[in-house]
Chains A and B, each alone.
Chain A
Amino acid sequence: MASPMLVPPDVEEVRDRATARAFVDTYVAPGANDFEQKGRLPEALLERMSAAGLWAPFLPADIGGAGVDMVTLGEIHEEVGRGCSSVRSLLTVHTMVSWALQRWGTPVQLERWAGALAAGETLGAFCLSEPDAGSDAAGIRTAAVEAEGGGWVLNGRKKWITNGQRADLYLVFARTANSIGAFLVPRSTPGVQVRPISEILGTRASMLAELTFNDVVLDEHALLGPSGFTAGMVLTGTLDLGRYSVATGSVGIIQACLDACAAYASERKVGGVLLRDLPLIQAKVSDMVTDVRAARMLCAEAGRLKDAGEASTIMATWVAKYFASTAAARHASEAVQIHGANGFGSEYPVARLYRDAKVMEIIEGSNEIQRITIAGEAYREMKQ
């Protein structure tokens, strides 16, 4: 667990889009290119996020949260994604771990972890992907074996773990005798090894790591959620929320592209004419305006369905994430195009947005998997 933080006195609580925007414009967006170049987020920023109550505001008040609804949470994550996808990535995985704990946790697990996760004193990371298994969750090899006398012994490797370098608590998915289980693994547990992954394409400050678990001994309270056939629901439910966060973060990327392009096109001239007056540039900008609105509405729909407890939120979230991530990748490419050679450098944000956007089409279910699932939804509703 991280040492107790010193709360900066000047940080306002983040509870909605407006306060999130103010926080991001003050502490996140101005440093985003620098974070990327350094390959990590500064501790001071993480502490400010804790002070702002930004890590898990959706948790109920009785376990340390603020009871923020899912629509509002999506708006907060969009704003953070507009400022820096690496920061949003940390929020996403912390949200997934915190939500899973709140949804499936026993009283003992909640007592151990909920308060610290809500306060950001303990940061969580979601550990599913392995060297040979990503979207194909059924292919994971990490295994947990029940120990004699209770508890578990965990062995295996996880790769591409967002915030794996810095997180204090890992939610590790592993094979059990009859299913896949989710295990709460403190980073400090003997046998846990962390190897940073550097020189990645996008979200370069998200502190990715490869984790190795060598005979990691866990107590009987490590398994989160049910065992047996419904164990897959822990994974499904947690990924659903992660997908929602990535979708909203993708909306943030499109908005950042739009903001950057509108500003650049309003100052840059070609042959004495501002870029903003050229029809081909107007076409690109108008598509960004249209898609950011559409993506935002899809995310809001998914959020409303989550708040209502409707089962249809899962498919709505798939659709929102597919639309928003593909639109983000498309518009980030066009944003670089609008900036010309300037789009390649670090003076503007668009090169970073371009790199970050690509990752959104892969994480929390690749776009190919998304399209299979979305098509399956269409087929299953067809009458024979």
Chain B
Amino acid sequence: MSDTVKDQVLAFVRGRYPQVEITESQDIFQLGFVNSLFAMELVMFVEKTFGVTIPNNELRIDNFRSADSMAELVDRLSSAAVAQG
């Protein structure tokens, strides 16, 4: 699942910023274009695409730093949802 998540996250970022070269582990905050608008879009994208709700305590910068970290976040939230379900 994580590879799919990573691919979709990278596709989203590249779709918004086609000129940016980005890898799975690259820190997107160091690319210089992340603002509150893009952060909001990123959170909405993750919640919509992967069917998860990100609680306040998971809305930390480290969880959104790269495609890798977002994939880990999605895996964690999905597992928690399954466990609760």
Asked if residues B19 and A382 are in contact (CB atoms below 8 Å), the reply is: yes
Cβ of B41: which chain A residues have Cβ within 8 Å of it?
Answer: 311-312, 314
Asked if residues A229 and B39 are in contact (CB atoms below 8 Å), the reply is: yes
Asked if residues B59 and A226 are in contact (CB atoms below 8 Å), the reply is: yes
Asked if residues B16 and A380 are in contact (CB atoms below 8 Å), the reply is: yes
Chain A residues 90-111 with CB under 8 Å of chain B are: 104, 106
A384–B37 alpha-carbon span in the complex (Å): 22
A380–B14 alpha-carbon span in the complex (Å): 10
Residues of chain A at interface, number, CB under 8 A: 26
A313–B41 alpha-carbon span in the complex (Å): 9
Chain A residues 261-320 with CB under 8 Å of chain B are: 308-314
A314–B35 alpha-carbon span in the complex (Å): 13
Of A44-52, A231-239, A340-348, the one contacting chain B is A231-239
In the assembled complex, A148 has its CB within 8 A of some CB on chain B: no
Cβ of B42: which chain A residues have Cβ within 8 Å of it?
Answer: 311
Asked if residues B56 and A225 are in contact (CB atoms below 8 Å), the reply is: yes
In-complex Cβ contact of B48 among A232, A240, A309 (8 A): A309
Asked if residues B43 and A230 are in contact (CB atoms below 8 Å), the reply is: yes
**B61 CB, nearest partner CB in chain A, Å:** 4
Cβ of A42: which chain B residues have Cβ within 8 Å of it?
Answer: none
**A182 CB, nearest partner CB in chain B, Å:** 12
In-complex Cβ contact of B40 among A237, A308, A383 (8 A): A237
Cβ of A230: which chain B residues have Cβ within 8 Å of it?
Answer: 39, 43, 59-61, 64
Chain A residues 237-265 with CB under 8 Å of chain B are: 237, 240
In the assembled complex, B47 has its CB within 8 A of some CB on chain A: yes
Asked if residues B48 and A233 are in contact (CB atoms below 8 Å), the reply is: no
Interface of B, secondary structure class, is helix
Asked if residues A232 and B36 are in contact (CB atoms below 8 Å), the reply is: yes
Could you say which interface size class chain B belongs to? 20 to 34
A309–B8 alpha-carbon span in the complex (Å): 16
Chain A residues 169-198 with CB under 8 Å of chain B are: none
**A110 CB, nearest partner CB in chain B, Å:** 13
In the assembled complex, A381 has its CB within 8 A of some CB on chain B: yes
In the assembled complex, B18 has its CB within 8 A of some CB on chain A: yes
Asked if residues A383 and B18 are in contact (CB atoms below 8 Å), the reply is: yes
Known: A230-B59, A311-B40, A314-B37. 10 other contacts (CB 8 A): A229-B39, A229-B64, A230-B39, A230-B64, A233-B43, A311-B44, A314-B44, A380-B17, A383-B19, A384-B19
Chain B residues 4-46 with CB under 8 Å of chain A are: 16-19, 33, 36-37, 39-45
In-complex Cβ contact of A381 among B18, B37, B45, B47 (8 A): B18
Cβ of A135: which chain B residues have Cβ within 8 Å of it?
Answer: none
Cβ of B19: which chain A residues have Cβ within 8 Å of it?
Answer: 382-384
In the assembled complex, A139 has its CB within 8 A of some CB on chain B: no
A104-B56, A230-B60 given as contacts; is B37 within 8 A of A236 (CB)?
yes
Asked if residues B39 and A236 are in contact (CB atoms below 8 Å), the reply is: yes
In the assembled complex, A337 has its CB within 8 A of some CB on chain B: no
Asked if residues A233 and B59 are in contact (CB atoms below 8 Å), the reply is: yes
A237–B56 alpha-carbon span in the complex (Å): 14
A312–B42 alpha-carbon span in the complex (Å): 10
Asked if residues A236 and B40 are in contact (CB atoms below 8 Å), the reply is: yes
